[in-house]
Amino acid sequence: MAKTTVSTPKDSKKDDGEKKPHADFDRTLFSRYAELLDKDLEKKCKTETDLFFGYTENTITIWDQFPKAIFHFLVLPRVKAPPRTKTNLKSLRSLFSRNVPKDEARQVIQEIAKDAYALRDQIRKEMMDRYRFTWDIQLGFHAIQSMDHIHLHVISNDFHADGLKTRKHINSFTPNPEVGYFLKLDDVLEWFEAVPEIYEMQIKPIKYEQERLKAKLRLPIVCPHCNRDFDNRFAEFKKHIDEVWDALEKREQAKADAREEREAREADRRAKRAAEGGESPKEAGSAEMPIEIDE
């Protein structure tokens, strides 16, 4: 089950800053969601629309309660029979432990990916409906999670949101291998295709280098769009990233206006030719379309 629109709840009202946490917000909240049965999820998707977006047989999708971009969702694997227990799904670190067979871990990530790709398609459609253009969407995990239970971030890379408040926030979403904190979904999927030695090397930082990864969040801020270095000047970076978005939106809206004007003029010409020739506008338009023949 999933909603037909991916407009974030805050879009329906004036944004007054970062949202307050959900009433029973704590580190174990996601794992409790992942244990819910279909009937309970169905109810929550209808009554807690500011949190629950939808669910499938294998995953639950929720709004990020502190969005760092215009579109920001979390996809969680559902708890099932062993080895897909709450303990084994606590983090990537636990999923890649010896308690979970490699093939089972691969299947968990693949199921998350399947539903995340479908969500990405919905977001792209919503982008076109609302903004008349699309932009990049990042799919990835944090090497160290702020919440217990594996969750994949599906986030547009505009970073135009009030929830983006610190250097740690932006560095946690930098898909730069030198940072290594934001693990791209496609890269994680590729780990399973590697030979055992390479696979172990890839998961080693998650399992044994937590402090080193945390230090990456204190690296200088670098704009993900132009690579400008802001050192630790977050306020300056935030102003810059908002200006980048405003310029992109203005430029793409102008392109959309021009495209729609061309389409309107072409429709008028087809209608005029149809009226003069006794054809319907649809037939007149069809006559001009080139016919491709497969050889």
d(CA 70, CA 80): 32
C-alpha dist (Å) from residue 206 to 79, 91, 176, 197, 234: 21, 9, 16, 15, 27
**What's the pLDDT at 175?**
78
Domain ranges, ordered by start, for the chain: 9-219, 232-288
CB 270 within 8 A of CB 263: no
Burial zone of 132 (CB within 10 Å; 0-12 exposed, 13-18 middle, 19+ buried)? middle
- Calculate mean pLDDT across residues 90-115: 96
Q: Is the predicted pLDDT of residue 14 greater than 50, yes or no?
A: no
* Structure token pair of residue 79: 């708890």
d(CA 136, CA 156): 6
- Place 274 in a pLDDT band, splitting at 50, 70 and 90: confident
Superfamily for the 9-219 domain: HIT-like (3.30.428.10)
- Calculate mean pLDDT across residues 11-37: 64
The tens digit of pLDDT for each residue in 222-251 reads: 999 999 999 999 999 999 999 999 999 999
Q: Is the predicted pLDDT of residue 12 greater than 50, yes or no?
A: no
Q: Where are the alpha helices (DSSP H) in the chain?
A: 29-34, 38-47, 92-95, 102-131, 167-171, 185-191, 196-208, 210-216, 234-277, 281-288
| DSSP three-state, residue 53 | strand
The tens digit of pLDDT for each residue in 142-186 reads: 999 989 999 999 999 999 999 999 999 999 998 777 778 999 999
**What is the percentage of the chain residues whose pLDDT exceeds 70?**
85
Q: Is the predicted pLDDT of residue 279 greater than 90, yes or no?
A: no
**What's the pLDDT at 264?**
93
